[in-house]
C-alpha cells in the first residue's frame, strides 16, 4: 500500500512539473517602434524557463531576423506569425554570437532557403562548439541595406562571449545589444562560462561612446528599459570587486 502511495505521489509531482512548464507563453511578439519588433522565446536555466529576446525588422523587401528562437518548437510558429501579421517572408537572419539562444534555428532557417549570416568569429566558434552554423560570414564590421533600412554590425570586443556583437540602426537609434547587454531586471552578470570579465566593461564603454544618441537598447534577456548599458557596467563593477 505504501509503495502504491509513493508511486501515485511521484506521478502527481511529474504531472505538476510538466503542467507548470507549459503555463508560460512559448513565443511573444512585442512592437518596439516603427517597423521593429522584439520576439521572446524560452529555454531552461537551472530547471526554470528563462526568456530570450531577439528582434525582427519589417522592410519592403521582406523581414530581417536578428538571432533565432531559443526553443526549437517555435522555429516554424515564428515564421508563421510573421507571415500572418505582416504578409511578408523572412529574407535574412544575422546571429550575434555562438550560444544556442542566438543560433539554435540557423540550420532550420537555412533549410527554408533563408540566408543566414554571422561574424567569422561566431562562425568558427559554432563549428568548434558544435552549434548550428550560419551559411555566410563577414570578417569585420559590416553594413547591410535591406528594403530601405540601413543597419550595421559592431564588434566592440569580448564580453559575455568572445564574439558577441551588437547591431545599430541609425535611423531609429536602436542598439540590438544581445547578450553583451544585461537588462535592468538582472541582478547578476548571469552565465559567465565563456565571458571575459576584464574586457566586458571596456566593450560596453566602447558601445556607449560609439552610439551616444541611442533611444532603445534591447538586451538578450528580460526587459529593455532605458539604462541597460549603464546597468551592465554596474553589475560588472560589483562582480569584479567581489571577485578581485
pLDDT in tens, 80-132: 999 999 999 999 999 999 999 999 999 999 999 999 999 999 999 999 999 99
pLDDT in tens, 128-158: 999 999 999 999 999 999 999 999 999 999 9
Domain membership of residue 50 as a residue range: 25-242
Residue 142 lies in a domain: yes
Residue 225 lies in a domain: yes
Q: Which of 97, 163, 164, 194 is catalytic?
A: 97
Give yes or no: 87 in active site: no
Q: Is the pLDDT of residue 7 over 90?
A: no
Residue 199 lies in a domain: yes
Q: Which of 53, 67, 71, 101 is catalytic?
A: 101
Total tally of structural domains belonging to the chain: 1
Residue 10 lies in a domain: no
Residue 3 lies in a domain: no
Residue 150 lies in a domain: yes
Give yes or no: 99 in active site: yes
pLDDT in tens, 158-176: 999 999 999 999 999 999 9
Residue 173 CB neighbour total at 10 angstroms: 15
Residue 176 lies in a domain: yes
Give yes or no: 243 in active site: no
CATH number at residue 229: 3.60.15.10
Whole-model pTM? Answer: 0.90
Q: Which of 172, 191, 196, 240 is catalytic?
A: 191
Task: Identify the pLDDT of residue 21.
Answer: 43
Calculated CA dihedral for residues 69, 71, 73, 76, nearest 10 degrees: 0
Q: Which of 53, 67, 71, 99 is catalytic?
A: 99
The closest alpha carbon to 214, from 160, 174, 162, belongs to 174
Residue 21 CB neighbour total at 10 angstroms: 13
Give yes or no: 160 in active site: yes
Give yes or no: 221 in active site: no
Q: Which of 160, 163, 164, 221 is catalytic?
A: 160
Residue 238 lies in a domain: yes
Amino acid at each position: 500500500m505504501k509503495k502504491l502511495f509513493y508511486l501515485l505521489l511521484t506521478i502527481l509531482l511529474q504531472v505538476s512539473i510538466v503542467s507548470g512548464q507549459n503555463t508560460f507563453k512559448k513565443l511573444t511578439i512585442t512592437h518596439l517602434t516603427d517597423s521593429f519588433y522584439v520576439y521572446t522565446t524560452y529555454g531552461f536555466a537551472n530547471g526554470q524557463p528563462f526568456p530570450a529576446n531577439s528582434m525582427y525588422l519589417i522592410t519592403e523587401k521582406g523581414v530581417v531576423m536578428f538571432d533565432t528562437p531559443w526553443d526549437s518548437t517555435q522555429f516554424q510558429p515564428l515564421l508563421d506569425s510573421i507571415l500572418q501579421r505582416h504578409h511578408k517572408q523572412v529574407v535574412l537572419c544575422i546571429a550575434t554570437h555562438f550560444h544556442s539562444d542566438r543560433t539554435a534555428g540557423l540550420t532550420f532557417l537555412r533549410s527554408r532557403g533563408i540566408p543566414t549570416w554571422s561574424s567569422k568569429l561566431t562562425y568558427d566558434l559554432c563549428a568548434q562548439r558544435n552549434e548550428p552554423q550560419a551559411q555566410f560570414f563577414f570578417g569585420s564590421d559590416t553594413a547591410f541595406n535591406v528594403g530601405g533600412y540601413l543597419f550595421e554590425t559592431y564588434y566592440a570586443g569580448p564580453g559575455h562571449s568572445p564574439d558577441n556583437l551588437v547591431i545599430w540602426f541609425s535611423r531609429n537609434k536602436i542598439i540590438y545589444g544581445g547578450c553583451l547587454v544585461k537588462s535592468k531586471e538582472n541582478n547578476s552578470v548571469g552565465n559567465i562560462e565563456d565571458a571575459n570579465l576584464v574586457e566586458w566593461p571596456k566593450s560596453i564603454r566602447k558601445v556607449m561612446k560609439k552610439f551616444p544618441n541611442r533611444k532603445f537598447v534591447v538586451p538578450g534577456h528580460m526587459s529593455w528599459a532605458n539604462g541597460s548599458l549603464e546597468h551592465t557596467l554596474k553589475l560588472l563593477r560589483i562582480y569584479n570587486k567581489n571577485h578581485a
